Structure 1
């Protein structure tokens, strides 16, 4: 196949869908790889590095897509990219499918589109789980971003001028992003407390040195707290009231809050309302990883830093993984390489394994027909969370 790797055009998107490492493997498998010039510049990959790996360099998108059979992207194409896409090609990317507006245009070109965020949470899909790989990066970067705005030390320090108390970090959500945030905050010397609706996450939290805080659950609530795929699900109104009280109490004690909770296909739950923010300490920091889905704090704004009236700093960065573009691209490209094994035959020709449950879950459209949301397999796949930033349970 001729595989095209375009430069990402979404503002703030610095990742790229292939690296010299993965391109070498694609070429070894018999593919031809063409990369748009400067596609990897923000991920510390030069055009020279790509050519040394065996890729062709296209000076502009029109040259990139000519004859391409497979397109690998980080983000789904925007409106102005659609006219350049070759008809009947295959496209693999993160679509944010619940909000993507251009599926009809892809169908008109008979493009076979695959949404990587819909990869089901099953054991054999772990090596292609882009949400987890990118959430891991986002959780790490969230803690570092918090230290940028927090006006005090993170660890306890004993100095000649006196003792500095350690920061108290509250993490809402013990998914991939949350667990990495726990580990990073502990390395920096903070006291870490963690809330998650799923009691089963306690062991993971405590193994990383965090203190697990929870709302008392009855048996029915315990059964309802986690979906079959391991993701948190929306809870009852009574539970939400008890949860709100607990989080409010802990938030007022915290110096830093890292919030990651999202519900697939819905607005993110409000966990840190304005009343809670008004009771927090001046100089405390909230990092809202769910800002792109509406935010866990109603005061957060996408890609903005907001200071509340009482001096709480609320950071709403919508794409934290992109801030570590080199490693984020490396992991994403490896995930893609594994996924491609399901799109080709033994000779490397495009031949999707349509009976495979991963392909069934991720395939949005094929031969001009929209498939997403029309069959049980796709509906099930759509329940996986959107996170790039991943979610409370990404």
Structure 2
């Protein structure tokens, strides 16, 4: 089948959905691959690299999609892109599916769409898990970004001019991004403390040399958290009050806070209130990794650095993985390559394994029907689907405490 790799056009997106490495493997499997000119340039790959791997290069956006059986993207398409797609094509991408408003347009063109963030957390899905691979990069980059704005050293130093205390780093959320942030901050010599709503993460946190900070749970709360499948969940008002008090105490002592908390399908929980920020030390830094979903701090602004009245830098970088486009694209492309094994047969035809649990979990559009109730879908875009479409909600499995 013909696989098309377009250039990402979302502001600030530097990644690409296929690398020369994965293109070479796709061609070896019998696929044709067409890459839009300069699609990989921001990730340091020239068109010549893709040509060497066996792809063709398309300079013309209108002919790029001609005959395409499968389109691979990092970010979900906008309306202008969808208008260019051929009917009955397939699309594999990240969607931010709980907020994506254009499923109706895809269904109207009979496009099979697969949302990569819905890959279930099962052993077989690990090699396809783009959320984990990208969160790993984001957690690493978040710590380096914090050092840029932090006006002191990270490690303890003994010098002729006197000693320097190590920085204290507080990480909110021990998912993939949080765990990588722990490891990175520890390598830089910081003292690291970690808060997570899930007590089960304690062992992982402590194995990395960090101190686990937790709210004391009632038996009912412990039972509720035991059945979340590894994801965070929304807690009671009483728990949130206790959580807020604990985080405020820890934040007042912290030099750097890396905040990663997300809840699937909901706005990011507020963990760092304005009052908490007001208690923090001048010169301290907050990296709000949840800013694209409303932020864990109400003072955060998307893709901006805000300075609070008391001298706290609040960094709202919405796409940390895109700051490391080469490795991020390489890892994303490998995840996608593994996923594509479920979409094609031995003759390299588009043949999705319809009864496979990963396909069923990620398929959001198929044969004119919508299989995910997107919260942001407007009546107009939903109505544009075929009259036979029957939207049915799929269990939310987007990443949680990983940003």
Q: Which TM class, normalised by the smaller chain length?
A: over 0.9
For 1:230 and 1:18, the matched residues in 2 are separated by 29
Name the SS of the counterpart of 1:194 in structure 2: strand
Q: 2:394 aligns with which of 359, 366, 379?
A: 379
1:292 matched residue in structure 2: 292
Residue matched to 1:186: 186
- 2:101 is aligned to 101
How far is 1:249 from its partner?
0.1
Deviation at residue 60 of structure 1 after TM alignment: 2.5
Q: Is the 8 A contact 2:171 2:259 kept in 1?
A: yes
Shift of 1:225: 2.3
Q: State the partner residue of 2:332.
A: 332
CA distance in 2, matches of 1:148, 1:79: 37
1:131-210 mapped onto 2 (5 Å cutoff): 131-210=131-210
Alignment of 1:392 onto 2:384: no
Aligned to 1:359: 359
Partner of 2:303 in structure 1?
303
Aligned residues: 387
Measured after TM superposition, the shift of residue 228 of structure 1 is 3.7
Deviations 1:50-103 (A, max 9, x none): 000010000122121111100000001112212111111000000111111111
The equivalent residue for 1:78 is 78
Query: Residue 256 of structure 1 corresponds to which residue in structure 2?
Result: 256
Match of 2:62 in 1: 62
SS of equivalent to 1:169: strand
Indicate the residue corresponding to 1:232 in structure 2: 232
Which residue number in structure 2 is paired with residue 110 of structure 1? 110
Once residues 236 and 370 of structure 1 are traced to their aligned partners in structure 2, the CA distance between those partners, rounded to angstroms, is 33
Measure, in 1, the Cα distance between the counterparts of 2:14 and 2:169. Answer: 29
Query: Counterpart of 1:330 in 2: which secondary structure?
Result: helix
3-state DSSP of counterpart to 2:192: strand
**2:349 is paired with a residue of what secondary structure?**
coil
Q: Aligned partners of 1:37 and 1:393: how far apart in 2?
A: 33
User: After the TM superposition, which segments of 4 or more aligned residues of structure 1 sit over 4 Å from their partners?
Assistant: none
Indicate if the aligned counterparts of 1:107 and 1:365 stay in contact, CA closer than 8 A: yes
Q: Which runs of 5+ in 2 are unaligned?
A: 374-389
CA gap of 1:318–1:163, structure 2 versus 1, over 3 A, is same
Say which is worse superposed, 40-49 or 96-105, in terms of deviation.
96-105
Q: Secondary structure at the match of 1:240?
A: helix
Deviation of residue 375 (structure 1)?
Answer: 7.5
Instruction: Output the CA distance in 1 between the equivalents of 2:125 and 2:226.
Output: 19
Q: Is the 8 A contact 1:292 1:302 kept in 2?
A: yes
SS at match of 1:379: coil
For residue 218 of structure 1, report the CA deviation from its aligned partner. Answer: 2.1
Q: CA deviation at 1:21?
A: 0.7
Corresponding residue of 2:315: 315
What is the aligned-residue RMSD (CA, Å)?
A: 1.2
Local SS of the residue matching 1:300: coil
1:162-213 superposed Cα distances (whole Å, 9 cap, x missing partner): 0011000000000000000000000000000000011111110011110001
Please report how far the alpha carbon of residue 393 of structure 1 lies from its aligned counterpart in structure 2 after TM superposition.
Answer: 4.4
- 1:42-53 matched pairs, under 5 angstroms: 42-53=42-53
| Contact 1:6 1:35 (8 Å CA) reproduced | yes
